[in-house]
């Protein structure tokens, strides 16, 4: 499958961009066309959606945003067009925050989202967006260095939720060889800045 396309912006409108990649024009549905300009060099992460009578490329500014889109369209009754509208209006951070804090009112402000859809999104996705790919669940049997694992356990004991720890893990793993106390201090510093 096509993971991303590098090229120059040949043309764009409200929700679609055409990327010139080696003389081929790729038409991609894109939620951030207001940030584009003609002939700008871009990398757009892509997802190909195939349905009974349609095949379209959807584009995103990051892999995180692409992953959120895939999760959104997994919610019953939520199609790609609605998911793109949410990303265009709300943006990645706001959507994830609304889901994680169960802010149904914020989700209902998104185009095409009613009370039932907003509740379904929270029900299906809360707790799966931030931590799912980074912080290990017990059944995944992912093993971190003992010092990192102990530091994460310490942060959990201090009341931080699994979702809070997803970014912390990456930071710890980027700096191998530290003690549990150093990792714990690093995690506390990071989380206090986030809060």
User: What tens digit of pLDDT does each residue of 16-45 get?
Assistant: 999 999 999 999 999 999 999 999 999 999
For 171-187, what is each residue's pLDDT tens digit? 888 888 889 899 899 88
pTM: 0.65
**What is residue 121's predicted lDDT score, i.e. its pLDDT?**
94
What are the CA-CA distances from residue 33 to residues 22, 36, 57, 163 (Å)?
A: 21, 5, 15, 31
- Average pLDDT, stretch 52-56? 87
């Amino acid at each position: 499958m096509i993971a991303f396309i590098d090229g120059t912006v040949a043309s764009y409108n409200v929700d679609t961009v055409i990327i010139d990649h080696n003389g081929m024009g790729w038409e991609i549905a894109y939620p951030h066309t207001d940030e584009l300009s003609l002939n700008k060099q871009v990398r757009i992460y892509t997802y190909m959606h195939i349905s009974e009578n349609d095949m379209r490329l959807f584009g995103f500014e990051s892999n995180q945003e692409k992953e959120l889109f895939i999760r959104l369209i997994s919610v019953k009754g939520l199609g790609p067009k609605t998911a793109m509208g949410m990303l265009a209006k709300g943006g990645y951070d706001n959507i994830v925050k609304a889901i994680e804090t169960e802010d149904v009112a914020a989700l209902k402000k998104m185009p095409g989202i009613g009370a039932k859809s907003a509740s379904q999104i929270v029900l299906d996705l809360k707790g799966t967006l931030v931590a799912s790919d980074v912080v290990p669940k017990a059944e995944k049997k992912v093993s971190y260095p003992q010092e990192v694992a102990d530091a994460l356990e310490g942060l959990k004991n201090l009341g931080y939720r699994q979702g809070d720890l997803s970014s912390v893990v990456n930071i710890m793993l980027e700096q191998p060889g530290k003690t549990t106390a150093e990792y714990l201090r690093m995690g506390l510093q990071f989380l206090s800045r986030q809060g």
